[in-house]
Chain A
Amino acid sequence: METLRHIAAACFLVVGAFIIFSAALGMIRFPDAYTRMHAATKAGVVGAGSLLLGAALAAGTWGALLTALAGIFFLFATVTIAAHTLGRAAYLSGAPLAEATVLDAAEKVYERHDFDGNGEHRSDDARR
């Protein structure tokens, strides 16, 4: 039973580290702010939650397991809100869309402004 717990802890640690590494890799490889938000929040939550579960299994006490489960619950409760508000704020502040974008479904819904002041967003050109 102890050996099984150690094997499970090692698996969670390795898989979580790989997932959060791929999230950070997506931060530098994806082309615009929206795909970067997708990589950072979704893969980041799964990677950090897996690392928390692995650390709790490695500690091996019920208190550590309860702490890690509370941390995973708070991650799932808060990072979804952060992802939604960050994506909406990125769109409203005029972060440029990537060249490969085929559909901007919100371009007639929201009025975008230009937070950085360099005029890179293109929704005004598409609307007029």
Chain B
Amino acid sequence: MTLVFWAGVFAAILLVPAVAMVAWRLLAGPSSADRAIATDLLGLLGIAIAAVAATLGGQAAYLDIAVGIALFGFLGAVAFASLLERARIPEGRSNASDAIARDTGPETSGTAAGDSRRTAQPPR
């Protein structure tokens, strides 16, 4: 039993920097798709933490938490995916100044960028 205990301790120690790295990607991800993917991996890390807690605590009931996260965790990923496919950040609220400049004048700022923004407009 002590072998299993120290294996669980090793797994718990290795899971702490894993959660920290995924949380850093969730906070600092350059695109919104990176944040959605980091949220998905945080769900998988929740399953791993539940398994390690079941081992270290000696309570097999923690495995039910893992089954619950495995069942319903992907609904968040699917919801984020449909949001990313259909929506876009409203005009004037983006973080880049050149995007705002392209919003104000597609007829003055060349054709390629303005055309791409017009064709990408979703139906309101």
Contact = CB atoms under 8 A, between A and B. Distances in A.
A81 to B, nearest CB: 6
Nearest to B3: A10
Size band of the interface chain B makes with A:
35 or more
Interface of B: 1, 3-4, 6-8, 10-11, 14-15, 17-19, 21-22, 24-25, 30-34, 36-38, 40-41, 44-45, 47-48, 51-52, 54-55, 58, 60, 62-64, 66-67, 70-71, 73-74, 77-78, 80-85, 87-89, 93-96, 98-99, 102, 112-113, 116-117, 119-120, 122
B33 A90 contact: yes
Q: Is the interface on chain A under 10, 10 to 19, 20 to 34, or 35 or more residues? A: 35 or more
A115 B63 contact: no
Interface string A33-71: 100110011001101100110111011010110011011
Interface in A85-128: 85-86, 88-90, 92-96, 111-120, 124-125, 128
Interface of B is mostly: helix
A116 B77 CA distance: 18
Interface string A6-28: 11011101101110110111011
B85 A13 contact: no
Secondary structure class of chain A's binding surface, majority of residues: helix
Contacts of B122: 113
